[in-house]
Structure formats: C-alpha cells, structure tokens
Amino acid sequence: MTARVVLLVVFVALGVSPLTAQPRAGDDRTGRDLYRTACAACHGADGRGAPQSTVGFDVPLPDFSDCSFSSREPAADWLAIAHDGGPVRAFDRRMPAFGEALSVEAIARAVDHVKTFCSDRAWPQGELNMPRPLVTEKAYPEDEAVVTSTFATGDDRAVSHQFLYERRFGARNQFEVAVPLAARQAGGVWQSGLGDVAVAIKRVLAHSLARGAILSVTGELVLPTGKEGQGLGSGTTVFEPFVTYGQLLPRNRFLHLQAGAELPADRSGDEAFWRAAVGQTFEQGRFGRAWSPMVELLGARDLEAGAAVQWDVVPQMQVTLSKRQHIMISGGVRFPVSARTGRHPQVITYFLWDWFDGGLRDGWR
C-alpha cells in the first residue's frame, strides 16, 4: 500500500462522522485533544492503529510512528483529504469530507499532532520537497522516475533523452542512476546511441522545517559508456561533486541553489558550475492542480586561466497532472546569455513520476 493510499483512512475518525459532528465556531481544542476524542478509537493512542476487529473494516490503518510514511507528505496534502474527502486526491469516495464539521485550523492542528508520532528527527519533512527545476538539482531525497528530453537547435542539431531512477534509503540518503540516449546530426549525418551513464549518492546534511531549509551533498560518477567519436560521450570518467540547498520562501515561493565541479579523470576540461532556481506555486482552487513557474540562472567556467564564464537563463513551468499530484510535467527553454558563439537555445522538458505515491494509472479520478 502506497503512502497516499493509507491517507484515505487517516482522517476517517477525525470528526467521528461528518453527519454527526457539528461545526464549532472558534474551536480552540489542541491537536492532541482532537486526536484523543475523534481519532484514537481507530488509530490508537500511540498512532499505530487499532485492531481490525475493533474498527470494523479491512483497510489497513497507517502506522503514524513509521517515519518513512509520515514524514514524506506535506501537511497540506493530509489536510486536503480530510477537508474535501477522498476524491480530492483520487481516492475512494467512502473517505468522507470533514470541511463542514471541522474548521481548516482544527484539522491542521490534528495533522500537526499526528506528525509528532514520528519521533526520529532525522527524516526531512515533505514540505521541504519543493518543485523540481529542469537543470538545478534538489536537496530533498526522492523516490522518483524522470524522463528528461532536450532538443538542441543550430547547425549541429541534437536530441537526447535521459531516463533517471531515484530511490531513497534510510532517513537522509538517495541513490540514482541516469541512462541517456542521444542522437546528433553532424555534417548532415545522424548518429544515435547510448550516452554516458551516471550513478550518484545524495546525503542530506541538515534540514529544518522551522527555517524552511535543507542542505545536501552529492557525489556523481559519469562513466564513459557513450561513443566519443560520434559525439555521444566524453571518452573519460567524470567525477562530479556538488552541494545543493533548498529554501522555502513566503507566499509559496521557493529557492534552489547548487554549486559543484566536473572533474574528468584525464584532467582535461575541469569545470566549476553554479546554479539557482526561484519559483512560486499556485493552486487551482483550494486543493487542485499545482502550477509552478520558475526561472533558473546557470553559470559555468573552465578551471583554467582566462576562461570565460558561460551564463544561461531557463524560464519554465511545472504542472501536476494527476489529482494525486504524483505525475508532473515541465517545460522550458535554455537561452545562452554570454559566450554565445557556437551555443544555441535548447528546449527542455520532463515527465516525472513520484512512484512512491502510486502507479502510473493511479490517482487520476
């Protein structure tokens, strides 16, 4: 059962029943009191769930003390299902809506209390999982599959598709594998095949929901699996260490920062790079589709005397497709703004599947 599927039953008892619970103006009960009076009968005083023989239904209850489950989703998603019912995130209609029985503030306090059952502070909270830019890496560890396509213009046209698999392990770690397939036109002839495969490990160094900040370090190894003679690979192993930082900003804004270096094993073409992405998320209705316009500023410079800095800017838009918001697309254009000789705009898109939250066919209606 996926993380969001079990959310269907998280709030079944939040207001005892939407038919019997009465709206309470100025309800000032604490989240702990709300949980004890409305939720503990099903979910247990310790948040681990009451026995099936007690609750009377066969849907497994979530274990709120399981940090791998309870830390991943932002509180806003929990609140959405409690407020508007299962269909708001494409779950079963038997999950009722409590928006008329409990205020948004009361439900939010109950959610906050439920989150306290995870006592291991090592797990970054889901609020720190900000929208993904096209180029700049994120600090948050993921369980995702992403297909990124890049279409280059100019005399030497090229098309590349990168298949990226990311998987979390432990509280702060992630490994990933990136497999590129590319096709390039040179002298009127197209060459296609496998590019340079990359593997990476990410580690969260520090995170704070109170500060809205997360900091990670990543080491990536790019292997020379592509044919250099056809322009599909570098011909050497490249080590790419970098740090990433994410910051929540007021009014649903966010900031990503990345800095690192590309260090080829043959020591030809060492390069430093730095990247920044800033954006804002808008929801369609109270709990609907999310639109996240962003702009990235990308800089890179060869580590040799007199080398020029290459600056690019990438305006883009990310949109959630599924009602569960685990399927997303994004698209933008990478424009060179300095050292433009031989460099042309690139169209970049991606399709993202957060597979921890459900299958490709789940969560649409």
Residue with the larger pLDDT of the pair 218 and 112: 218
Average pLDDT over residues 310-337: 96
SS (H, E, C) the chain: CCCCCHHHHCCCCCCCCCCCCCCCCCCCCCHHHHHHHHCHHHHCCCCCCCCHHHHCCCCCCCCCCCHHHHCCCCHHHHHHHHHHCHHHHCCCCCCCCCCCCCCHHHHHHHHHHHHCCCCCCCCCCHHHCCCCCCCCCCCCCCCEEEEEEEEECCCCCEEEEEEEEEEEECCCEEEEEEEEEEEEEECCEEEEEECCCEEEEEEEEEEECCCCEEEEEEEEEECCCCCHHHCCCCCCCEEEEEEEEEEEECCCEEEEEEEEEEEECCCCCCEEEEEEEEEECEECCCCCCEEEEEEEEEEEEECCCCCCEEEEEEEEEEEECCCCCCEEEEEEEEEECCCCCCCCCEEEEEEEECHHHCCCCCCCC
CB atoms closer than 10 angstroms to residue 97: 18
Q: Average the pLDDT over each of 32-36, 181-185, 210-214, 239-243 and give the range with the smallest value.
A: 32-36
Max CA-CA distance within the chain? 75
Q: What is the pLDDT of residue 56?
A: 72
Which residues, in sequence order, are CB contacts of 263 under 8 Å at separation 6+?
A: 238, 239, 240, 241, 270
The yes-or-no verdict on residue 245 having pLDDT over 80 is yes
Residue with the larger pLDDT of the pair 28 and 225: 225
The yes-or-no verdict on residue 260 having pLDDT over 90 is yes
- As a whole-number percent, the residues of the chain with pLDDT over 90 amount to 56
Pick the CATH number of 6-115 from 1.10.760, 2.60.40, 3.40.1350, 1.10.3470: 1.10.760
Domain residue extents for the chain: 6-115, 126-357
Average pLDDT over residues 193-215: 97
Instruction: Tell which CATH architecture fits domain 126-357.
Output: Beta Barrel (2.40)
Average pLDDT over residues 193-200: 96
